[in-house]
Amino acid sequence: MSVANKAVASLWAAAIIGSWCNFLTVIYIGFVAAHTLPILYERYEDQVDAFVYKVLDQLQHNYRKLDARVLSRIPTHKFRGKKAD
């Protein structure tokens, strides 16, 4: 994923979250999460890693199914137009 796509996706996500609640609420939640999540991860590292690997495996499995059924059937032709001088 390119940097531009990541920027667009993060701005879109920020706009969605911003439409749900106040800016100060988002800042407060981010502050609390930044201070508590590392401690919780250290305490429950094995369980979190196992869960994340399971979720990633399921996502890869679903993507393979999508690729086999839909994406592989989309024709991809390279443009062979005239060169502009």
pLDDT of residue 67: 85
User: What digits encode the pLDDT tens for the residues 45-63?
Assistant: 999 999 999 999 999 999 9
pLDDT > 70: percent of the chain:
91
pLDDT of residue 1: 66
User: What digits encode the pLDDT tens for the residues 22-38?
Assistant: 989 989 999 999 999 99
CB 26 within 8 A of CB 17: yes
Alpha helical stretches, state H, the chain: 3-20, 23-43, 45-69
- The one-letter amino acid at 71: L
